[in-house]
Amino acid sequence: MTFTSVAIIGLGLIGGSLGAALRKAHPGLPVRGYDRDPRAREIAAARGLATVLNTPSETLRGANLVILAIPVDELAGVAGEMTTMTPEDAVVTDTGSVKAQVVPVMEAVFGSRYVGGHPLAGTERSGPAAAHPDLFRGTNYAITPTARTTPQATGCLCALVEAVGAQPVFVSPGEHDHLVAYTSHVPYLVSVALAAATAGIPGAGELVAGGWRDATRVAAGSPGLYASILAANGQAVLEALDVFCQELASLRQALKLGRGTLAARIEPAQAFRERLAAKRGWL
Amino acid sequence: MTFTSVAIIGLGLIGGSLGAALRKAHPGLPVRGYDRDPRAREIAAARGLATVLNTPSETLRGANLVILAIPVDELAGVAGEMTTMTPEDAVVTDTGSVKAQVVPVMEAVFGSRYVGGHPLAGTERSGPAAAHPDLFRGTNYAITPTARTTPQATGCLCALVEAVGAQPVFVSPGEHDHLVAYTSHVPYLVSVALAAATAGIPGAGELVAGGWRDATRVAAGSPGLYASILAANGQAVLEALDVFCQELASLRQALKLGRGTLAARIEPAQAFRERLAAKRGWL
């Protein structure tokens, strides 16, 4: 099974980019979109990210793939409101950055035709003005089916992932949250802590360069959006934060022992980063 | 006083880029360069970064501005070797990332005509192949004169800074090292710790995205080069690391208290980062 009509609820960076990517890949495909913010609807319509409609019910009508691209702490409420409007044969997915808390709630509403997803793409900017049809090209897209999920739902999300130019990565909801604590949530907190430490030092702003700019880039993201995501993955983030702090303490100790010890302690991490950069084709 | 003939010792990323930038700004200016690595000399010559010569003494002959663009832990040794070859009226500067340990050593060799400098530019790549004439455009360049430095030396370095398109920032050697601990050295260690923490988690590499890539970009740099820099600024780095860890602990505590507390705790750091990005014209 694949999709023949798509509804996107939430036309921010992710929802808007999915719409634009689908329209680019399949020019004839009906892609309808809704956002509760009238200004976001205007921008999305002007940029042609989707056929923008003024109500969720009009948007969902006739769709056989429904994408919820809204903040994680709003998923449960919006899913509840949408239950009766969603066509019974439609596959439903979301794009939330956490999964362990989200998946059971969504399954309770939509049953076995729901399958969780998380595009591992994004920028520090947000909203439909930042949306781009190539946002997902070459990136990974986590898919988190459970024992309950139908193969049709998983297959449909796979088709979406491929249509937008991404690679599917299958992982359980719990494992997903454990991993993104390391790859996304702790890097975000660390980036904020770097900006906070520098903010407290008069004159430091004059001596920042490209390293600081890159290391703090994610700290430019929306505090509210990130706080919701981190709060929904609290336990895994606390554990990953402890591992990070152990690594940092070990580097601190190596620094006290001198140049040679420090360089030897840095090397495996640098090698890991290099391997990943080569694999992903980062410059 | 300004320079009419420049010698660059060390044709890596920084030395090579200074040569290329000077040649671009002043096509008629004699810019001679030397690197002890024959392969680096070949690449620098092929790329036209400077008039590349095969010995330091030929390179230094007739220069009235001498730039030492070599690793910080090699400065003392190379400066000692160069003493008798360096024209007596030449201004001497270095590009080292630390200054408190370097400046007294350089002053002991070259006297009041030495002035410390540190271009706040660079990439995770190194060597003459990565050199670029626009590397310094729009960046800041720290200049660290002391009570001993002649105004002529400071003026000459200022002219160099402006010629390569950077902005001079005056700061004492000690203050410089205190500030770069926050803006460069701790961000580097944190970036390495993030890569190390992720390296230890099977499967995490599949779920990295742009945030992790940017947060760990400086960890791709040369471990030996960074270890030398950090070891030469050990005390300031340890202090800044403690401030960073306090900020991170405070974010950890806020996360335990929930979404609202965490968002409120993040906001000032995000605002600082936004202001700096706006001031610097970062996208």
- Contacts of residue A249, defined as CB under 8 A and 6 or more positions apart, other chains included, come to none
| Side chain identity, residue B255 | L
User: Is residue B75's pLDDT more than 90?
Assistant: yes
- The nearest alpha carbon in chain B to A188 belongs to B211
How close does chain A come to B116, measured CA to CA in Å? 15
Q: What are phi and psi of A270, to 5 degrees?
A: -65, -40
| Side chain identity, residue B253 | Q
Q: For residue A212, which residues of chain B lie inside 8 Å, CB to CB?
A: 183-184, 187
Task: Give start and end residues of each alpha helix (H) in chain A.
Answer: 13-25, 38-46, 56-60, 75-82, 102-110, 151-163, 173-180, 186-199, 210-215, 223-231, 234-257, 259-280
| Neighbour-count burial of B46, counting CB atoms closer than 10 A to its CB (0-12 exposed, 13-18 middle, 19+ buried) | exposed
User: Is residue A159's pLDDT more than 70?
Assistant: yes
How close does chain B come to A58, measured CA to CA in Å? 33
CA–CA distance, A187 with A183 (Å, rounded to integer): 7
For strands A140-144 and A114-119, give the pairing.
Answer: antiparallel
Give the angle B7-B9-B11 at the CA atoms, nearest 5°: 110
Of the candidates A198, A224, A266, the beta carbon closest to that of B192 is on: A266
CB contact under 8 A, B187 and A211: yes
- HSE-CB of B179 using CA atoms within 13 angstroms: 22
- Touching check for B74 and chain A: CB below 8 Å? no
CA–CA distance, B118 with B105 (Å, rounded to integer): 16
Of the candidates A171, A195, A213, the beta carbon closest to that of B272 is on: A195
| Neighbour-count burial of B85, counting CB atoms closer than 10 A to its CB (0-12 exposed, 13-18 middle, 19+ buried) | middle
Q: Percent of chain B, pLDDT > 70?
A: 99
CA–CA distance, B220 with B123 (Å, rounded to integer): 9
> pTM for the complete prediction?
0.91
Mutation to test the B interface, candidates A97, A99, A126, A190, most B Cβ within 10 Å: A190
Q: For residue B123, which residues of chain A lie inside 8 Å, CB to CB?
A: 210
Mean pLDDT in residue range A63-69: 97
Q: Percent of chain A, pLDDT > 70?
A: 99
Provide the mean pLDDT of chain A: 96
CB contact under 8 A, B224 and A263: yes
pLDDT digits (tens, 9 = 90+) for A12-32: 999 999 999 999 999 999 999
pLDDT digits (tens, 9 = 90+) for A87-121: 999 999 999 999 999 999 999 999 999 999 999 99
User: Is residue B1's pLDDT more than 90?
Assistant: no
Q: What's the token pair of residue A33?
A: 């979109």
User: Is residue A283's pLDDT more than 80?
Assistant: no
User: Is residue B27's pLDDT more than 80?
Assistant: yes
- The nearest alpha carbon in chain B to A247 belongs to B193
Sign of CA dihedral A114, A115, A121, A124: positive
Whole-number pLDDT of residue B55:
96
Query: What is the Rg, in whole angstroms, of the alpha carbon atoms belonging to chain B?
Result: 21
pLDDT digits (tens, 9 = 90+) for A113-157: 999 999 999 776 789 999 999 999 999 999 999 999 999 999 999
How close does chain B come to A43, measured CA to CA in Å? 20
Q: How far is CA A118 from CA A93, A235, B198, B207, in A?
A: 9, 19, 19, 10
pLDDT digits (tens, 9 = 90+) for B76-129: 999 999 999 999 999 999 999 999 999 999 999 999 999 999 999 977 678 999
User: Is residue A180's pLDDT more than 90?
Assistant: yes
- Touching check for A226 and chain B: CB below 8 Å? yes
Q: How confident is the model at residue A281 (pLDDT cuts 50, 70, 90)?
A: confident
Of the candidates A175, A205, A259, the beta carbon closest to that of B276 is on: A205
- Touching check for A255 and chain B: CB below 8 Å? yes
pLDDT digits (tens, 9 = 90+) for B126-140: 899 999 999 999 999
User: Is residue A166's pLDDT more than 90?
Assistant: yes
Q: How confident is the model at residue B281 (pLDDT cuts 50, 70, 90)?
A: confident
Q: How confident is the model at residue A1 (pLDDT cuts 50, 70, 90)?
A: low
CB contact under 8 A, B238 and A260: no
What is the per-residue DSSP string for A41-64? HHHHHHTTSSEE-SSHHHHHTT-S
CA–CA distance, B145 with B100 (Å, rounded to integer): 11
pLDDT digits (tens, 9 = 90+) for B149-206: 999 999 999 999 999 999 999 999 999 999 999 999 999 999 999 999 999 999 999 9
